[in-house]
Each structure stands twice: as structure tokens, then as C-alpha cells.
Amino acid sequence: MSDGKVVLDADQYLKLLDSLQKTLDELRSIGAKGFTSRGVPADIEISAINWMRKEKQPAAPGDKWAWAFAYDRDGNPVNAKLIDALKRYEKVRVGDYEISLGGRDGRLLNRRLAK
């Protein structure tokens, strides 16, 4: 290194280009499969979830915050794709909202308007 310049030989340069090409190919593959850049399924639908406000009143689509049960009375997830993504990533952005698991035992969903 001299004068702030990095010197690479041809082999190093080709290895870096090859690595970059592999990464770009993986990202294209993820996008082609219907996933976001974080690997979250792009087709998660949250409109069918029974979102509530603090007063246990139905939440409106534009409310800044809402909650819902993550599982039904039989213990089944209300949205399996969403719950799987949340277990993997902790927070998931769906449309204008950021969704996360909440409650003492992670059996509630929190929906916040994304910043």
C-alpha cells in the first residue's frame, strides 16, 4: 500500500470479482423466489388478522400500533408464514408495518407503523 492506494495482483482481483458475482447471483435467486432482501417471504398477508387497540377495540388500518393473538385457541398460528418469519428474524416488515412477537411468552403480535 502506498499513497493510500491498494495494490492487488490479477489473481486477487479475479477472486474478488468471482465472489461478488456469486453473491449477486444468490440475491437474484432470492428475489426470483418471492422473498425480500432479508429472506422474508414477500407474500405475507396480515389483513385477515384480527388486530386490536389497547381498549380491545378493532384497530383501523392506519393506527400507529395494534396487537393480535399470534395463535388461535387450538394453538395454531393465525398466519404460519408470518410466525415462521418472526421466529427467524424477530421483526418483519409487511407493507407499511413492522410486525414483532410480544407478550410474556411470545404469543402476541405487535404491529407498528414502520419508520
Domain boundaries, the chain: 52-112
User: Position of cell 410480544?
Assistant: 102
Going from the C-alpha of 50 to that of each of 19, 24, 57, 78, the distances in angstroms are 45, 39, 10, 9
Per-residue pLDDT of the chain (115 residues; tens, 9 = 90+): 467 787 878 888 888 888 988 888 777 665 544 445 555 666 788 989 999 998 889 999 889 999 999 999 999 999 999 999 899 888 888 888 899 999 989 999 999 998 7
Q: In degrees to the nearest 10, what's the CA dihedral of 33, 44, 72, 59?
A: 170
Q: Output the nine-digit C-alpha cell for 110.
A: 405487535
Q: Which residues are bridge partners to 69 per DSSP?
A: 108
DSSP-derived secondary structure letter, 48: T
